[in-house]
Amino acid sequence: MATINDHYLKLKAGYLFPEIARRVNAFAEANPGAKIIKLGIGDVTEPLPEACRTAMIKAVEEMGDRATFKGYGPEQGYGWLRDKIAQEDFQSRGCEVDASEIFISDGSKCDSGNILDIFGKSNKIAVTDPVYPVYVDTNVMAGHTGDLNDQGEYQGLVYLPITAENQFTAALPTEKVDLIYLCFPNNPTGATATQDYLKTWVDYARANGSIILFDAAYEAYITNSTLPHSIYEIEGARDCAIEFRSFSKNAGFTGTRCALTVVPKTLSAKAADGADVELWKLWNRRQSTKFNGVSYIVQRGAEAVYSEAGQTQVRRLIDFYMENARMIREQLTAAGLAVYGGVNAPYVWVKTPAGLSSWDFFDKLLQVCHVVGTPGSGFGAAGEGYFRISAFNSRENVEAAMERITEKFKV
Ligand code: MLT
């Protein structure tokens, strides 16, 4: 008889976003006339930049001609895309990242889960609370945790609370941890990290032989020019950090799929026999074995992000969503709600009114306003009493949603 990976049985019933979709679909079925506005999952709504589309159309034509047809590409991604990323995203900001350290993939969500393949089972793992649920769930699946306790925490994980009191930036752990997930600009709270703050983490990681898994999927939304976009802007980060980036949120590739992970060649961790092993070699081996690369067409689309036209069009997209974020922030604040984030991130983190629980506010918002957000408690126990509103939608929908919410929830 075949057996299963029992660790899956420890997981909460459903992944957060499908669970939200299930509730919304049930409501929509029961209320066919309701015009539901979705500000829940951080999924883009605006069309792909023209520069990306043009590049992809050209690539499709190349695939139709034997002379330019492409079969399997390099598992790590095409050199021309890796070179562009190294120059434009890293070297231009003074980060010492070489093209060979960049691995092109089909998503940061996948990579931040898959990266666990190259780490041992006995690592002590730290996550913030609230946190992007993928970091937690993939560790549960990999058997790195115990069961879920009554507080909604998996035993064995080190939870670092992020609250309004600490500006949603976690304090260093009081115990020694081996793997640390950090996400800035932060999903879900929209908080940011300064150079000095990240330096404290880099110093901690180097002193303790820890690895930081740094999720920079939202770096393009940084508006404050003093904030770092990459962990490699911090001295010493090449010795202790892996960075995840994505084309999903800047160029609207959520459905097109392209991302990247940086694994510096200077990064190592211990083998069971105590030897230092280069993580780049392991990730390269993992990708070469389990992954066949992102399609040529999509990589050409991603490359176009770095063209002059691409840069202008991507900037326009980000400005568009950030204007939505500004409207959400200002209107909810004017309605008397306590609001965080949304200045350097496309997410606004709201304290639920009248002491409502996150899910109660979710249900109320859906039933009364026909607006969908994401319950803070879905991101972790410390997210209880908060609610995330995404700025990814059309202007018309954001305006309508804000009108409905402020009318019903003015405090
Ligand atoms: C979110 O809503 O948190 C994001 O869409 C998640 C993701 O990018 O996978």
Edge to edge, the sheet with strand 386-390 lists 339-341, 347-351, 386-390, 374-375
Q: How many domains does the chain have?
A: 2
In a domain, 180, yes or no: yes
Looking at the structure, do residues 71 and 125 belong to the same domain, yes or no? yes
In a domain, 87, yes or no: yes
Q: How confident is the model at residue 409 (pLDDT cuts 50, 70, 90)?
A: confident
316-340 pLDDT, tens digit per residue, is: 999 999 999 999 999 999 999 999 9
Looking at the structure, do residues 167 and 187 belong to the same domain, yes or no? yes
Average pLDDT over residues 114-129: 97
Looking at the structure, do residues 304 and 315 belong to the same domain, yes or no? no
* pLDDT at res. 19: 85
Radius of gyration from C-alpha coordinates of the chain: 21
Rounded distance, CA 153 to CA 328, Å? 31
Q: Distance from the CA of 263 to the center of ligand 1, in angstroms?
A: 22
Ramachandran category for residue 360: left, alpha or beta (phi over 0 → left; psi -120 to 50 → alpha): alpha
Looking at the structure, do residues 37 and 69 belong to the same domain, yes or no? no
Looking at the structure, do residues 235 and 265 belong to the same domain, yes or no? yes
Residue nearest to atom 6 of ligand 1 (CA): 42
Q: Three-state SS across 300-361?
A: HHHHHHHCHHHHHHHHHHHHHHHHHHHHHHHHHHHCCCCEEECCCCCEEEEECHHHCCHHHH
- The kind and range of the H/E element at 146 are none
Domain that holds residue 342: 6-47+311-408
In CATH, what number is assigned to the domain containing residue 382?
3.90.1150.10
- pLDDT above 70: percentage of residues in the chain: 100
- Mean pLDDT estimate for the chain: 96
Q: Distance from the CA of 186 to the center of ligand 1, in angstroms?
A: 11
Q: Distance from the CA of 322 to the center of ligand 1, in angstroms?
A: 17
Picking from 288, 308, 328, the residue at the C-terminal end of a domain is 308
Looking at the structure, do residues 239 and 281 belong to the same domain, yes or no? yes
Looking at the structure, do residues 102 and 77 belong to the same domain, yes or no? yes
Picking from 266, 285, 308, the residue at the C-terminal end of a domain is 308
149-166 pLDDT, tens digit per residue, is: 988 899 999 999 999 999
* pLDDT at res. 5: 97
249 lines ligand 1 (CB under 6 A): no
* pLDDT at res. 411: 66
In CATH, what number is assigned to the domain containing residue 236?
3.40.640.10
pLDDT at 13 over 80: no
pLDDT at 191 over 80: yes
Q: Distance from the CA of 41 to the center of ligand 1, in angstroms?
A: 6
Sign of CA dihedral 296, 302, 303, 309: positive
* pLDDT at res. 299: 99
Q: Can you tell me which atom of ligand 1 is nearest the CA of 17?
A: 2
In a domain, 1, yes or no: no
In a domain, 27, yes or no: yes
109 lines ligand 1 (CB under 6 A): yes
Q: Distance from the CA of 108 to the center of ligand 1, in angstroms?
A: 10
237-294 pLDDT, tens digit per residue, is: 999 999 999 999 999 999 999 999 999 999 999 999 999 999 999 999 999 999 999 9
Picking from 291, 308, 325, the residue at the C-terminal end of a domain is 308
Q: What is the DSSP letter of 59?
A: H
* pLDDT at res. 126: 98
Rounded distance, CA 116 to CA 274, Å? 19
